[in-house]
Structure 1
């Protein structure tokens, strides 16, 4: 059991509080010098207040390098059956015998990657689920700083005068457009890794001095 659970005098919210107090890079910092954590979630549905996280995958990117030695993938205990969501992520109730508690996984995430810029493809969904989960578990919302590779891709295409259907912004289609390996199979770690590849390709096609503020502007 985690030490913070054993210590009844320590409020659970201190994990989120310490995470929130860690300084993220300033907007003027070059993207090359920013530590990123690319993350993906698999879910039982799309409503953060009613549905649940069933797996998380993440991979750090530092100095434009994917740090595979720190890549992680966890199955997470869900209070409900995965039900029909198994059609999308391929996980079934029988697969969760060795799953971890979400509190443990989020604690590891926030303690190891405080001060990182989080990255996801269509990040609003991941952000909402993480915020709700932290509020439920720790009694306090975490201040995750996200950039969105989907919006960056949309910005990039608009700047080139290219108009595409919304479906063309799905991660597999973006990977094809950037001539990167792709798969239509949903897997949290595989999707996080693919998103990291996309981020690096997007940065490669940007100007060398691009800053975090530039990325945040493109990501809106």
Structure 2
């Protein structure tokens, strides 16, 4: 693991990718172009001072090439506070090419509590992602088990002819795994289990906005455990999330 003072820190490498992307393309939507114009935070930068967008995707499966997004929810953490006034939740229309009236998966449907008629009144994924990208206050994103969100967003960008975005992904699941050293301290890293460990209230699961909010609260509890009221370097949190 690199020191936050190292010139080879992965966050600095990500910033170089951002710079290279700007030089290589002018095809980015205006919201993304503006987001990537500003230099990324230094690894020593206090994460509390950075706006963080907490996102959760509910999907029909784990493979972004064959599965699709059912709903998306996000909320911002600003100055260490979960700002519920920034919360958004959108149900996504089922892609036409993936509709199959002879095969409806009741397990997926009951898991997300979203019915086909809900999706019929939803919005296209492209519109939802436009809302999402336009809402970003910084390139710092947070999710629990962020691999899923990252892969589905990358797949969306690829299908839209957009490059892979060098976003700063933080992951509450990996942060917990990489900062838990005592044997037997924590064996269940699911979102609800970690919230129980931190004595956070129970929320209904498998609702995109609820899970995003639950992840935001868990992150603040983790940050307090790791740094108390001291500076929480974004470079440390980013390395713990890889």
Shorter-chain TM-score bucket reads 0.7 to 0.9
CA–CA distance in 2 between the matches of 1:104 and 1:26? 32
Number of residue pairs matched by the alignment: 207
Give matches, 1:163-182, under 5 Å.
Answer: 163-165=185-187, 168-182=188-202
Greater mean deviation of Cα atoms: 38-47 or 181-190: 181-190
Matched, 1:134 2:165: no
Change (3 A) 1:19 1:106: farther
RMSD: 2.0
Matched, 1:14 2:34: no
Matched, 1:27 2:49: no
Matched, 1:206 2:226: yes
Offset of residue 25 of structure 1: 2.1
TM-score, scaled relative to structure 2: 0.78
TM-score, scaled relative to structure 1: 0.86
Q: Which residue matches 1:78?
A: 94
Q: Which residue matches 1:188?
A: 208
Greater mean deviation of Cα atoms: 174-183 or 11-20: 11-20
Offset of residue 211 of structure 1: 0.4
Does the CA-based 8 Å contact 1:39-1:120 persist in structure 2? Answer: yes
Does the CA-based 8 Å contact 2:52-2:137 persist in structure 1? Answer: no
Offset of residue 41 of structure 1: 0.2
Offset of residue 189 of structure 1: 0.2
Gaps of 5+ in 1: 1-10
Does the CA-based 8 Å contact 2:168-2:238 persist in structure 1? Answer: no
Aligned match for 1:96, one of 109, 112, 119: 119
Offset of residue 24 of structure 1: 3.1
Does the CA-based 8 Å contact 1:172-1:184 persist in structure 2? Answer: no
Gaps of 5+ in 2: 1-25
Q: Which residue matches 1:147?
A: 170
Offset of residue 156 of structure 1: 2.6
Q: Map Cα deviations across residues 144-194 of structure 1 (whole Å, 9 max, x no partner).
A: 220100011112322x454543xx100000000000012352100000000
CA–CA distance in 2 between the matches of 1:161 and 1:63? 34
